[in-house]
Chains A and B, each alone.
Chain A
Amino acid sequence: MCDTCGCTITAGNAHLAGAGRAAPAGTTVEVLKDLLAANDQVAQHNRAHFDEHGVLAINLMSSPGAGKTTLLEATIRSLRGRYRIAVIEGDLETDNDAARIRAQGVPAVQITTGTACHLDAHLVHRALHDLPLAGLDLLFIENVGNLVCPASFDLGQHRNVVLLCATEGDDKPAKYPVMFRAADLVVLSKADLLGVLEDFDPVRAEAALRALGRDTPLIRTASRRAPALAAWLAWLEEQLSAPRAIAPLRPLAGGVTVRA
């Protein structure tokens, strides 16, 4: 079980804290503090590093097995002659994915999180020390396979790309609104299987995505037998030449007033 969500707390161990007394009367301090701010500050720091070196950073997220690493392998083969690319890989265990990326001839740093189910800005910051940022154009951060937690942690990236695999069902954007709302692009991966997956309707998937209140494009890719990457590569080229300004995932707020 993830050791940060508290899902191991049960009726059996909740008694450890004991019953609380009624709150004593006293001073109320009004705060308006974003409790996820600590991660966001490190993320801003990472983003400043990327901007200093002119690197476009893309956070790639999806369920496990949706095809992130395979898409990256195919992308590197297509673009490595024209852009200097590196990858940060995130997994609980193994460096299998970083090894696959290095086999394509570009630098890869593996973060093994142990039990943490998502990457955060601190982990990425450490990994940056092992990358030649000054000599890069494009950095992919392949997040831990998970449609829930990664959405809440800004890593300092400029763009979020979420893969929705054809084998996963077309209602995933409705089931995981926080993740799909965070996407700047949704990639319908393994699209070559649509012919045999009769109940996946791309129109329904796009409607569920549109209901999340953004203009997020939905494009198809196939990375293996008959690679179809044109729309994906076109989107990447567009991002590489566009200005990098990005709004943070959450508005940052802070401030404390004391009222007697």
Chain B
Amino acid sequence: MHELSICQALIDEVAKIAASVDARTVGRITLEVGPLSGVEPELLARAFEVARTGTCAAEAQLSIAVPGIVVRCSDCDATSPAQANRLLCASCGGYRTRVLEGDGLKLRAVELDVPEAPPGPLH
């Protein structure tokens, strides 16, 4: 939830990165939204369309990757896929697991249009 305020944080972060490389425009923004992150990708995409208005990301495209949930078992050490409300080890059925993948909300990459260095004066 709070997809709109998350988009605002996202655009602030993108603006910082764009400024650091003197970029003129922002192209593709790649996010990773885990199923256990508490954020809904479709709401995030819709919120982004409004939040980007009038910012450096006004024409940016949002790509959202949703990784599968992966857990590691503390009992048998196996790594296996899992579901949001069934985080059991697929190998031994144990419940003492740790989530390795799937509970994060990450900005992965930003594609920017960086200006080339201006040509030197002709002598």
Contacts and interface: CB of A to CB of B under 8 A. Distances in A.
B79 interface: no
Interface in A140-186: 148-149, 151-152, 173-175, 177-178, 181
Nearest to A151: B38
- The SS class assigned to the B binding surface is mixed
B24 to A, nearest CB: 9
Contacts of B95: 210-215
B28 to A, nearest CB: 4
Interface stretch (A5-13, A57-65, A194-202): A5-13
Given A6-B4, A29-B21, A250 B47 contact: no
B50 A5 contact: no
Specify which of A6, A17, A175, A258 lies most central, judged by the most chain B CB atoms within 10 Å of its CB.
Answer: A6
A13 to B, nearest CB: 7
A13 B13 contact: no
B43 A33 contact: no
A9 B46 CA distance: 7
A132 interface: no
Interface residues of B, number: 59
Interface residues of A, number: 52
Given A24-B27, A31-B107, A149-B2, A177 B84 contact: yes
Contact of A9 (B21, B36, B49, B104): B49
Given A14-B50, A34-B105, A173-B85, A24 B25 contact: yes
Interface in B1-35: 1-7, 9-10, 13, 17, 20-21, 23, 25, 27-28, 31
A42 B61 CA distance: 30
Contacts of A4: 1-2, 4-5
Interface of A: 2-7, 9, 13-14, 16-17, 20-36, 38, 117, 148-149, 151-152, 173-175, 177-178, 181, 208, 210-215, 250-251, 253, 256, 258
Given A35-B9, A250-B103, A26 B84 contact: no
A6 B3 contact: yes
User: Which 8 residue pairs across A and B have the least CB separation, nearest first?
Assistant: A6-B47, A213-B87, A23-B27, A6-B4, A152-B38, A213-B97, A177-B85, A26-B113
A33 B13 CA distance: 9
A250 B104 contact: yes
Contact of B59 (A2, A21, A32): A21
A247 B49 CA distance: 35
B56 interface: no
Nearest to A259: B109
A258 B110 CA distance: 10
Nearest to A117: B1
B85 A211 contact: yes
B114 A35 contact: no
A30 to B, nearest CB: 5
B87 A181 contact: yes
Given A32-B108, A181-B87, A23 B7 contact: no
B85 A251 contact: no
B108 to A, nearest CB: 6
A5 B2 contact: yes
B122 to A, nearest CB: 27
Contacts of A33: 13, 106-107
